[in-house]
């Protein structure tokens, strides 16, 4: 294995450390901002464990892609340095990027989806009320004429 390939794999492992730290930070921020009685808050520990498992699987996928799964002794140190790099330098830019994505893309998308669902439900309610209004006289007539039809007769 040449020196350049080793250097690139070292950079890849540092990158996986940065991405893993950002992913875990995203999970922690999401659970912290969830409601007090929310299901996300109640299962925060299990979500974080699942996040760590997914980060580990992603790391091994990168390791498999870059070096055909060959593990070196400096890989954990590279990942730790990636975690520390995220904590010291990349924390604020990633948070800013996350807030920008939330404000520019996710909230407008949520608004559009919510507006469409509300419109469809409003139309369904209006159709239901109109049908109910049209059917009500017939139901009343049926109940008056055939109210004794299903009653049991005593002997």
Model confidence over 90-123: pLDDT tens digits? 999 988 998 899 899 989 999 999 999 999 999 9
Distance of CA 125 to the CA centre of its chain: 30
Residue with tokens 């996040």: 51
Q: Quote the strand ranges of 33-114, DSSP E.
A: none
3-state class of 44 per DSSP? helix
Say what angle helices 3-32 and 91-101 make with each other, to 10 degrees: 60
H or E element that contains 150: none
pTM, whole model, 2 decimals? 0.69
Q: Residue 152 region, left (φ>0) first, then alpha (ψ -120 to 50), else beta?
A: beta
Return the percentage of the chain with pLDDT > 70, whole number. 94
Contact (CB, 8 A) for 79 and 20: yes
3-43 confidence digits (pLDDT tens): 787 888 889 999 999 999 999 999 888 888 888 888 888 88
Distance of CA 40 to the CA centre of its chain: 10
Whether 67 shows a pLDDT value over 90: the answer reads no
User: What are the structure tokens assigned to 113, written together?
Assistant: 């989806």
Distance (Å, whole) CA 84 – CA 88: 6
Contact (CB, 8 A) for 18 and 56: no
H or E element that contains 87: none
């Amino acid at each position: 294995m040449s020196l350049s390939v080793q250097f690139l794999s070292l950079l890849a492992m540092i990158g996986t450390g940065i991405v893993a730290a950002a992913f875990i930070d995203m999970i922690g921020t999401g659970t912290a901002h969830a409601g007090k009685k929310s299901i996300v808050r109640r299962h925060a520990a299990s979500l974080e464990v699942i996040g760590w498992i997914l980060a580990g699987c992603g790391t091994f996928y990168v390791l498999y892609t870059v070096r055909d799964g060959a593990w070196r002794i400096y890989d954990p140190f590279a990942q730790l340095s990636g975690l520390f790099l995220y904590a010291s330098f990349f924390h604020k830019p990633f948070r800013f990027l996350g807030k920008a994505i939330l404000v520019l893309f996710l909230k407008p998308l949520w608004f559009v989806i919510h507006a469409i669902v509300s419109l469809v439900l409003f139309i369904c309610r209006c159709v239901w009320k109109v049908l109910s209004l049209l059917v009500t006289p017939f139901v009343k007539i049926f109940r008056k004429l055939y109210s004794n039809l299903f009653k049991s007769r005593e002997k």
